[in-house]
Structure 1
Amino acid sequence: MQVAFYAEQLYYLPQYLPVIQALRARGHQVEVMLRFDATVQTLFPDRRIPGLPEVRLVDSTVDAYAQLRRLAPDWAVFGSYLDEKENLAPGTRTALVYHGIGVKNVLFDPRLDRFDLRFVESQRVLDELLERNPALRPKLALVGFAKLDPLFSREASPASRGEGPTVLYAPTFYPSSLELMPRQLSTLLPGARWIVKPHFFSWTIDKYAAQRRRLRAWAEQPNVEVLGAQHYNLVPLMARADVLVSDASSALFEFAALRRPVVWCRFQKLRWNYRGLFSWRLKDRIDPQTHRYEAIASCIDRASQLPGALEALLRQPYHPSEEREDLVEYLIGQRDGRVSERIVDQLEQRSG
């Protein structure tokens, strides 16, 4: 069986990597394509992508589809929408391994219904998809969230035992808490080491210049490590962290799956066209029932509450409640390090 993966964005790759490894372990042919746009060229001028020694760098999505047609794999795997203007070879079927989880409504965009097979991470997403369109059932496979497999296939424990705590701050790009965070991170929690991993778009999109100014100021502070856009994979960072701070991002749910403490920043910087009369745009972007999932975290409404929240969570060994564990299972699915194996099983079974 031949399987091709197309990553339109660099940050889709962490979701693919465990599946690629599982496919190759079973002897299947794998091709990986990454859109090598101007931003990625700047990040990797030597054309070497960390974690992917063999990757086809394509100029555009049009180029990717052209190469997929020539390659004619059994399966073409995507991390987001299919391009409605493009087509594939007659024998190629399409599969979706979506690049994120969380509370953004894009998960339920009808354009994602066009795939021959969609891998679903959790019961929550499966229930919602079937409620919206019961006819999708034959196309859906409940497997879990493949990105986290490396953290459950071995004992992963924070590296800071015996030292000060490691705090991972991983905000999304919009709406984000980043610009409302304290200007001084290094003194916020005495003895702590901070790792700041912003979203790829915070570094690469012009309108987030204010976020970049804040990030560069933090980078000058002691005990604060600010990672650039070339650090596309959050998984190794989660393995190092004792606690995560984030906003309405996939990172919240991913880290909660590790049975470690999470601080959810409910404060966010909104542009004028997302406030007042235009607040409907925020509701379209973020699930308005987000509050249903807040039990996974310690929630704060102002940046000034962050030191107290961190101190409370780190004061003693963390033991998640049964309610939190049930909710995480509902949101992120099985946590057994075998999600990528179940994905390969499905691809094999449906290739007959």
Structure 2
Amino acid sequence: MQRHLLFATTLYALPVLRPLAESIRASGGEAAWFVASSLSPYMRPSERVLRNAGEVKAFAPAAVYSASNWVPHFFPGIKVQVFHGFNVEKRDSTRGHFRIRGLFDLYCTQGPATTEPFQKLAAELGHFKVVETGWPKLDPMFCGDSVTEPDVHPHDGRVVCMYAATFTESLSSAPALFQEISKQVESGKRYWLLTLHPKSDPELVRMYRSLEGPNARYLEAVDLVSMMRAADVLVSDTSSAVSEFIVQGKPVVTFRNRAPRAHMINIRTSDQLEEALQTAMDPPPALVSEIETYAYSIHPSRDGRSSERILAAADALASGQMGALAPKPLNIWRKLKGRLRYLGWTEESLGD
């Protein structure tokens, strides 16, 4: 039986990795988790959580799957990057999505828009492989009604609007849109599903939670896929939720997006929100075409089997089918920071 370790540092990593855990079990493998201490309350009774590096070493995973930008280099097994979101151009490419940190052996990309840049980097550096698999977080998106999920529908036929904002202070729409969304919720014209990034200012979270009632519900990041499936339109900013949502072929209203594209309905002021929502509910053909083109460029898979492809790719690399990798850079400072971060989560010894 092959063993696999799922590594999560933030709340939004759980919905990325849980479909992968289900595929591991379905294939006859064994899955365990290593998570930041802050995530312990969100782990399910059925999920085996390893508490320290000693337990990870004893578990001896063949592969470690990370939805974070880093992974402990001292854990056994090949290191697989499955990403915590899409590339939404929050930063320059040298600091953002395509930054190579020298920690991973395999990058499992979401679609052509990310596969091609990573393949170029792999050819140049040689110490990792790239396979386009699709993104495990979206597997439940395409699994139909068989997926077990919380019921977030209003049950009265109203249009459902989802609101999600990035936590990056300079890009977040949460402060600027609060009053307008409050008015929208109060009117009751549409039903709202609200969420903020787990790293958001607690005061902003409190404000948006206060809108809960007959016309709105606030949910945590672990319920993002359920919210996206239920919503007719997303209101956001420069959040990766924009790309996650749009793969369904549904419209997105963005507020001052850092790199606005033709598949978005981008607004500059809060008083433009109502008109933008009306456009989203009756999108012109050109917008529909742009949405579909963009969706297929970032995530063409629609079969809900990305997790299976990730496991197959990891197995191929671990068994030598992809050939040898070049030595990784030493990265002494990054490895030291990783060990210090680990020590912040556990009092146990690091081991070897």
Q: Is residue 102–residue 249 contact of structure 1 (8 Å, CA) maintained in 2?
A: no
Q: Is residue 148–residue 337 contact of structure 1 (8 Å, CA) maintained in 2?
A: yes
Q: Is residue 140–residue 304 contact of structure 2 (8 Å, CA) maintained in 1?
A: yes
Q: What residue in structure 2 maps to residue 27 of structure 1? A: 28
Match for 2:197 among 191, 196, 199?
Answer: 199
SS at match of 1:232: helix
Give CA deviations for 1:242-270 in whole Å, capped at 9, x if unaligned: 11111111110111011111111116xxx
Q: TM-score, normalised by structure 2?
A: 0.77
Give the 5 Å matches for 1:42-57. Answer: 44=41, 49-50=43-44, 53-56=46-49
Q: Is residue 162–residue 231 contact of structure 2 (8 Å, CA) maintained in 1?
A: yes
Give the 5 Å matches for 1:242-281. Answer: 242-266=232-256
Q: What residue in structure 2 maps to residue 88 of structure 1? A: 75
| Code of the aligned partner of 2:191 | R
| Code of the aligned partner of 2:70 | L
Distance 2:130 2:78 in 1: 14
- Offset of 1:129 from its aligned partner? 2.5
Q: What residue in structure 2 maps to residue 165 of structure 1? A: 159
SS at match of 1:110: coil
Match for 1:98 among 83, 108, 119?
Answer: 83
Q: What residue in structure 1 maps to residue 108 of structure 2? A: 119
Q: What residue in structure 1 maps to residue 273 of structure 2? A: 306
Distance 2:113 2:283 in 1: 31
- Offset of 1:70 from its aligned partner? 2.6
Q: TM-score, normalised by structure 1?
A: 0.77
With over 3 angstroms needed to count, the CA separation of the structure-2 counterparts of 1:183 and 1:322, relative to structure 1, is closer
Distance 2:286 2:28 in 1: 41
- Offset of 1:8 from its aligned partner? 1.4
With over 3 angstroms needed to count, the CA separation of the structure-2 counterparts of 1:316 and 1:135, relative to structure 1, is closer
| Code of the aligned partner of 1:8 | T
Q: Is residue 122–residue 129 contact of structure 2 (8 Å, CA) maintained in 1?
A: no
Distance 1:150 1:348 in 2: 23
Q: What residue in structure 1 maps to residue 207 of structure 2? A: 214
- Offset of 1:132 from its aligned partner? 4.5
Distance 1:110 1:239 in 2: 32
- Offset of 1:350 from its aligned partner? 2.7
Q: Is residue 7–residue 71 contact of structure 2 (8 Å, CA) maintained in 1?
A: no
Distance 2:36 2:290 in 1: 41
Distance 1:301 1:195 in 2: 22
Q: Is residue 181–residue 303 contact of structure 1 (8 Å, CA) maintained in 2?
A: yes
| Code of the aligned partner of 2:137 | K
Percentage identity across paired residues of the two chains: 27
1:128 aligns with 2:117: yes
1:67 aligns with 2:55: yes
1:226 aligns with 2:221: no
Runs of 5+ in structure 1 lacking a partner? 203-207, 268-285
- Offset of 1:184 from its aligned partner? 4.9
SS at match of 2:234: strand
| Code of the aligned partner of 1:264 | T
1:324 aligns with 2:294: no
Distance 1:4 1:55 in 2: 10
Distance 1:169 1:258 in 2: 16
Structure 1 vs Structure 2 CA RMSD: 2.9
Deviates more, 1:75-84 or 1:25-34: 75-84
Runs of 5+ in structure 2 lacking a partner? 320-352
Distance 1:186 1:179 in 2: 12
Q: What residue in structure 2 maps to residue 276 of structure 1? A: none
With over 3 angstroms needed to count, the CA separation of the structure-2 counterparts of 1:12 and 1:20, relative to structure 1, is same
With over 3 angstroms needed to count, the CA separation of the structure-2 counterparts of 1:136 and 1:323, relative to structure 1, is farther
In the alignment of these two chains, the number of paired residues is 304
Distance 2:262 2:55 in 1: 45
Q: What residue in structure 1 maps to residue 9 of structure 2? A: 8
Q: What residue in structure 2 maps to residue 107 of structure 1? A: 97
Match for 1:176 among 143, 166, 172?
Answer: 172
- Offset of 1:344 from its aligned partner? 1.7
Q: Is residue 253–residue 328 contact of structure 1 (8 Å, CA) maintained in 2?
A: yes
Distance 1:123 1:161 in 2: 38
